[in-house]
Structure 1
Amino acid sequence: MMSIIETLGVWSWFIAGVVLTIAEVFAPGAFLLWLGLAAFLVGIVSLLIDWGWQAQFIAFAVFAVAAVPLYRRIGRQPDDASDHTFLNRRTEALVGRVFTLETPIVNGFGTVRIDDTVWRVQGPDSPGGGKVKVVRADGATLTVAPE
Structure 2
Amino acid sequence: MIQRIVTELGPWAWWVLGIVLLILEVLMPGVFLVWIGIAAIITGALSLLLWDAAFWTWHAQWLVFAALSLVAVLIGRRIVKTRGQTSDQPHLNQRGQSLVGRTATLEQPITEGRGRIRLDDTMWSVQGPDLPVGARVRVTASNGRDLTVEAV
Q: TM-score, normalised by structure 1?
A: 0.67
Q: Which residue in the other structure is 2:131 paired with?
A: 125
Give the partner amino acid of 2:130.
P
Q: Distance in 1 between matches of 2:144 and 2:4?
A: 69
Q: Which residue in the other structure is 1:59 paired with?
A: 64
Q: Distance in 2 between matches of 1:5 and 1:144?
A: 70
Are 2:113 and 1:112 equivalent residues in the alignment?
A: no
Q: Distance in 1 between matches of 2:65 and 2:33?
A: 13
Q: CA deviation at 1:13?
A: 1.1
Give CA deviations for 1:25-73 in whole Å, capped at 9, x if unaligned: 6776544332221111111233344434334334323312211311211
Q: CA deviation at 1:74?
A: 1.9
Is there any run of 5+ residues in structure 1 with no aligned partner, and where?
A: none
SS in 2 for 1:144: strand
Counterpart pick for 1:80 among 74, 77, 85:
85
Q: Which residue in the other structure is 1:40 paired with?
A: 41
In structure 2, do the counterparts of structure 1 residues 35 and 141 end up closer, same or farther at CA, with 3 Å as the change threshold?
A: closer
Q: CA deviation at 1:12?
A: 1.2
Are 2:104 and 1:100 equivalent residues in the alignment?
A: yes
Percentage of matched positions with identical amino acids: 37
Q: Distance in 1 between matches of 2:123 and 2:62?
A: 67
Q: TM-score, normalised by structure 2?
A: 0.65
Q: CA deviation at 1:6?
A: 1.5
In structure 2, do the counterparts of structure 1 residues 43 and 113 end up closer, same or farther at CA, with 3 Å as the change threshold?
A: same
Q: Answer whether contact 2:25 2:31 (CA < 8 A) is retained.
A: yes
Give the partner amino acid of 1:34.
W
Q: Which residue in the other structure is 1:15 paired with?
A: 16
Larger mean Cα displacement after TM superposition, 38-47 or 77-86: 77-86
Are 2:11 and 1:5 equivalent residues in the alignment?
A: no
Give CA deviations for 1:94-142 in whole Å, capped at 9, x if unaligned: 33x24231547375665433112233445322462x4311234466553
